A and B are shown apart, each in its own frame.
Chain A
Amino acid sequence: MKRGTFFAFSSPSIVIMTLLMLIPLLMAIYLGMTRLNFQNVTSPEFIGLANYVNVLEDEQFWRAFRFTALYIVMVVPMVIIVGFTIAMVLDQVSVVTRGIYLSIFLLPFIIVPIVGSLMFKQLFEASGPLTYLYQEIFDVRYRPTEFSVKAMIIFYGVWYITPFTLVVYFAGLQTLPGDLMEAASIDGASWHEKIRFIIVPHVQSLTIFVLLFCIMDTYRVFDSVFVLSDNLNPIYRANSIMTYTFQQATLVQNLGKANAMAIITVIGILIVLIPNLYMSYKEQIAER
């Protein structure tokens, strides 16, 4: 392809990306270096790296980081394992059964995140059905604690993201060569060996893709944390990096620090994703 043609085709997206991503990112880097609140929005004061240092020294930020890391570590493997397992099962059943179950499993994916979180929260409210059930079974009133709220946020994450991995893996399984599986059966491969030596390698590139997206998605968790921790009630210590950034910006009104936090978050996610991007790159090269 001629260089001119390449730029003619790619320039619209480059311009849009620059306007919508690069400029706000550069602005956020600059605003992170200012003392900025709602009183001086039009005339922020430049203070260098003070906000960035402040963020890195902020114990609450690191607590939010630890919970976000825990959330990623718990949710991502679970959605991959559960999504893959359900996809495997659906791949084995009849088309009609598959259609019904696929529709059911995709429901969480269709629901708007904030609505899903609210629905989930209502189950555990004072007059909620699960609260009633809990009381009936254990004969004590359900009382939210730091552990139960965090567990609920993680469980909701698994419930909400699994349909995504399910769809991806299910699509991947449709491309699995039948003759390969047949040959493995003739050679006496067990079900476990087929999964290990044929199916898992076959969907490996998808797994990297899913991993990449799920890490990004879970790193930015906001809605469910906000709703299920009852508008960030401090007693639950369930702030994620995103909700803590939001809290700094809107409630504490420290917009400069919030911008610095957002930039540190971007750097953090890049650090997490670089190994995945490298793996993905190697995969692409190997496939050529």
Chain B
Amino acid sequence: MKKSFIVLALLALIVSIPAFAQDDMAACTVTAPEDATEVNMIGWSFPITDFYAAELELCSDVDNLTVNTQLLASADAQEQVRLALSTGADSPYDIVHLSNGQVGEWAGAGWLLPLNDLIEEYSEQYNLDDIPQTAWDGVTIDGQIYGVPVVSNTLHFIYREDIFEEFGIAVPDTYQEVIAACETIGLDNRDFDAPFTINLSAGWAWEIEFFQFLRAFGGDFLNEDLTPAFNGQEGVQAVELILDVANACMGDFGYSFNLNDQEVAVQLGTLPATNMWASRAANMSDPERTDLVDVISYAPAPRVSEDSPRAGSAWNDYYAIPATAVNDPELIFQIIMEAADEESQQRAAEFGSTTRLSTAEFGGPYLEAAGVTVAEGIGIYDKHPAIGIVRAKLGEFLPLIGTGDLTPQEALDAAAEAYLEEAIAQGYIEASE
């Protein structure tokens, strides 16, 4: 009798565990498909997208539905999407993650499905007006909306309050002040890996930093006729300032710092300041990841000069449906909304900056600095498909400045020449121009 009771109690406990767990995670409300359906999502991993992936996978509890998510490093995920969608064959993915940098390239190439009809149909049900127009604008080309904004993002300044106090450094508002702060802390200070870092660990990372500095100096990637504008005076100024920052703050070692290294170094206390994505800042206020939660502070991205905009762009991450997805777009849209609905985004705010206005109060301590950066920053990427070529070519030549192979002007001119050749070949510019 006693044994039976214990067995029954254990069984009851085992059965009740999923029920308790389920309380924490809202059940998926997607309408069950008639036939067995497998929905595949691909994207890249950071805290809030990890959370969204888990939300999407909850839909596997719906009858006849399996949702698989694959989160890779950003460059790897983008490479997989390009390989899958560029051929025009049936897409192995039903949901693809993209950010502003890919909107022009992917939507412009016709790889993504316009979602206008679905957004209109479900606007009320999912309260889509709660997502600000600027976020939709970032993924809209010629009136066609190609994605659902799920993350707000920007690169902003993150620093150790205690160290800045110890050295008597005020929070820098310009990169000249950042350079001065680095000189005060000292590049050869053995307590730290480097006084401050920006991410110059790959071609794409160079291109992102360059874009922010370039825009802040008043330049842009392209002229209105799509000829290159980035190799003008503002472009050279932007690269020279990047080099000044790198030389004063990073040294050769700082060039080796990628986003993960920056994050770990701040958490370990070996990096007093860095430029960090808001999407990663949630990890800085997590006491399970660092003992320094109380002394890590956030500030808006510095400006390139006193009267310039802040050198931080407004980024969003989106979930989109490939034009060649084989499953019902309505079903896929509903699954995306499981991650992008209000309830989900309220909980997601713990892991990063969401897109809904109603969830702002649930965010972390970095949100204010990120918000100021976006408001006073340089805006979003141009969405013309030719921007994809600009990014690729800059990513190819800018790192050669860091290695000392090319001067800023040489690298920018080489990128401009390569861009022109490709843009003409792809028909964006007339050959005679």
Contact = CB atoms under 8 A, between A and B. Distances in A.
Interface in A41-55: 41-42, 45
Among B201, B204, B265, residue most surrounded by chain A Cβ atoms (within 10 Å) = B201
Classify chain A: how many residues form its interface, as a range.
20 to 34
Given A42-B88, A233-B201, A233-B256, A253 B392 contact: yes
Nearest to B391: A253
B294 interface: no
B264 A235 contact: no
A196 interface: no
A276 interface: no
Contacts of B388: 39, 253
Nearest to B268: A126
Contact of A234 (B203, B265, B270): B203
Contact of A41 (B86, B204, B261, B270): B86
Contact of A230 (B83, B252, B258): B258
Contact of A250 (B79, B253, B402, B422): B79
A261 to B, nearest CB: 14
A127 B86 contact: no
A211 to B, nearest CB: 33
A87 B121 CA distance: 73
A199 B244 CA distance: 61
Contacts of A140: 190
B426 A39 contact: yes
B109 interface: yes
A150 interface: no
A40 B402 contact: no
Interface in A120-144: 126-127, 140-141, 143-144
B396 interface: yes
A38 B202 contact: no
A12 B227 CA distance: 54
A251 B392 contact: yes
B257 to A, nearest CB: 9
A249 to B, nearest CB: 9
A126 B252 contact: no
A37 interface: yes
Nearest to A235: B255
Contacts of B393: 252
Nearest to A144: B256
Contacts of A231: 73, 75, 201-202, 258
B421 to A, nearest CB: 9
B261 A59 contact: no
A204 interface: no
- Max chain A Cβ within 10 angstroms of own Cβ: one of B75, B202, B270: B202
B401 to A, nearest CB: 10
B261 A252 contact: no
Interface string A245-259: 000001111100000
Contact of B86 (A35, A38, A60, A254): A38
B204 A251 contact: yes
A251 B73 CA distance: 13
Contacts of A59: 405
B352 interface: no
A119 B393 CA distance: 33
Contacts of B261: 126
A232 interface: yes
Contacts of A38: 82-83, 86, 109
A185 interface: no
B258 A234 contact: no
B4 interface: no
Contact of B402 (A35, A126, A234, A253): A234
A220 interface: no
A230 B259 CA distance: 11
Contacts of B385: 39
Q: Which of B204, B255, B256 has the most CB of A within 10 A?
A: B256
Contacts of A141: 190, 193, 270
B403 interface: yes
Interface in A7-52: 35, 37-42, 45
Interface string B74-98: 0100010011001110000000000
B163 interface: no
Given A235-B402, A251-B395, A40 B426 contact: yes
A251 B82 contact: no
Contact of B399 (A35, A40, A234): A234
A253 B426 CA distance: 13
B400 interface: yes
A230 B395 CA distance: 16
B425 interface: yes
Nearest to A248: B396
Interface string B385-414: 100100011011001101101000000000
A230 B264 CA distance: 15
Contacts of A144: 253, 256
A66 interface: no
Nearest to B425: A35
A237 interface: yes
Contacts of B202: 231-234, 251
A207 B308 CA distance: 66
A140 B192 CA distance: 11
9 contacts: A35-B422, A39-B86, A39-B105, A143-B256, A145-B252, A231-B73, A235-B201, A236-B256, A251-B395
Interface of B: 73, 75, 79, 82-83, 86-88, 105, 109, 190, 193, 200-204, 252-253, 255-256, 258, 261, 264-265, 268, 270, 385, 388, 392-393, 395-396, 399-400, 402-403, 405, 422, 425-426
Given A126-B265, A143-B193, 4 more contacts: A38-B86, A230-B256, A231-B73, A231-B75
6 shortest A-B CB distances, which residue pairs? A234-B399, A235-B255, A38-B86, A41-B86, A143-B253, A38-B82
